[in-house]
Copies of this chain bind each other. A is one copy, B any other.
Amino acid sequence: MLQRPPAEPGMGEDEIDTPALVLDLDAFEANLAAMARSLEASAVALRPHAKTHKSPVIAHRQMAHGAVGQCVQKVSEAEILAWGGVTDILVTNEIVGAPKLARLAALARIARIGVCADHVDQIAALEKAASEAGVTLNVYVEIDVGAARCGVVSPDEAVDLAQRIADSRALVFAGLQAYHGSAQHLRAVGERRAAIGSAVATARRTMEALDRAGLPCPAVTGAGTGTFEIERDSGIYTELQAGSYCFMDADYGRNLDADGNPVSLFRPALFVLGTVMSVTRAGRAVIDVGHKGVGIDSGLPVLWDRPDIAYVGASDEHGQLAFAPSHNGALRLGEKIRLVPGHCDPTVDRYDWYVGVRSGRVECLWPIAARGAMA
């Protein structure tokens, strides 16, 4: 069931019911502008990943700042964006199963649809779905550039798949998907450069093999918030898939720049607002946000602007806060606390509403329309 909105426009932040997902609109807009500035001298396009935000509202804001379209991981996410007016969508993932493929092909009537493949059987199924729907699908061959997840592992396999796609009347060979997910959170910039350097070399070898086979490669798509400047300057990538940049999170906040300082191009814009609900022990308090309310796969959340207090443990519906016992009056029952999620993507997926806040007041409610869209 859709949950009721935790606030209404005009309320003060202190009046928001909790747990709630709060979007600092000034910080969010500054992040969109910072990304646009970082790409303005480059020919490389931005195609932000909607697996982060799951919202047509935010997709359109990103496109107003120059993004060429959106990425998604799932057909159900593509549906929500296409139905919300986004007309250029890339599914950065393999899609398996005839019912899902029929739904994907149906979207190609109202949007340009791209999708990845790393197996000849997927291509045959895509061809069948596109033919039956009377549409064209743009197919990208996914290559494994170091993440060891999906993607073919040799240039020869990529060429075979690209040829199979190019031979189909219902499909277009649209390029290569070359995303290195595990490189995004390498802390030192040198490690990230080495990992993406290797990804670029793999993509280049694959492009050379395609060229020898007489198959032009129109695009190379990949990159995330942790490495997008490296792919931007690679001379190979044509589109960047960064998603988290618009929100940031505690995990990305631990990436370091060349001077060993936390990367500061983007700032935290997304928070889980919680309420102190129990204060029975010295040096401890309990907040009403556990791991049902904040993703802990990439570490626990951290308190915003309260370095004196740590979130030290999450159960389903409770979070444990710890501080110096001498500090005891610091947290009162009912006090509202902003948490910076460890990982923004799965945290967003737990909520139905963004509560947009500016200068301490609620400005807007935006539905997280693709919340739970996993299929």
Chain A contact residues, CB within 8 Å of chain B: 1-4, 6, 17-20, 51, 73-74, 76, 80, 93-97, 99-100, 118-119, 121-122, 144, 148-153, 157, 181, 275-281, 284, 286, 288, 291-293, 295-297, 314-318, 320, 333-334, 345-346, 349-352, 367, 369-375
Contacts and interface: CB of A to CB of B under 8 A. Distances in A.
A245 to B, nearest CB: 16
Contact of A97 (B151, B334, B369): B334
A247 B302 CA distance: 33
Contacts of A97: 17-18, 275, 334
A149 B278 contact: yes
A370 B2 CA distance: 9
A17 B277 contact: no
Contacts of A99: 17
Given A119-B280, A157-B280, 7 more contacts: A17-B97, A93-B277, A119-B278, A150-B280, A150-B286, A291-B295, A293-B374
Contacts of A295: 291
Given A17-B99, A333-B119, A317 B74 contact: yes
B291 A346 contact: yes
A152 B51 CA distance: 42
A257 B322 CA distance: 35
25 contacts: A1-B370, A1-B373, A4-B375, A6-B375, A17-B99, A17-B100, A17-B375, A51-B317, A73-B316, A94-B277, A96-B275, A96-B333, A97-B275, A97-B334, A118-B278, A119-B279, A122-B333, A149-B278, A150-B280, A150-B318, A151-B280, A152-B280, A288-B374, A291-B295, A316-B346
Contacts of A375: 3-4, 6, 17-20
A18 to B, nearest CB: 7
A79 to B, nearest CB: 9
Contacts of A288: 96, 374
A372 B352 contact: yes
A310 to B, nearest CB: 15
Contact of A318 (B6, B149, B292, B334): B149
A94 B181 contact: no
B372 A3 contact: yes
Contact of A96 (B276, B291, B349): B276
Contact of A149 (B93, B153, B315): B315
B367 A1 contact: yes
A316 B342 CA distance: 13
Contacts of A277: 93-96, 150
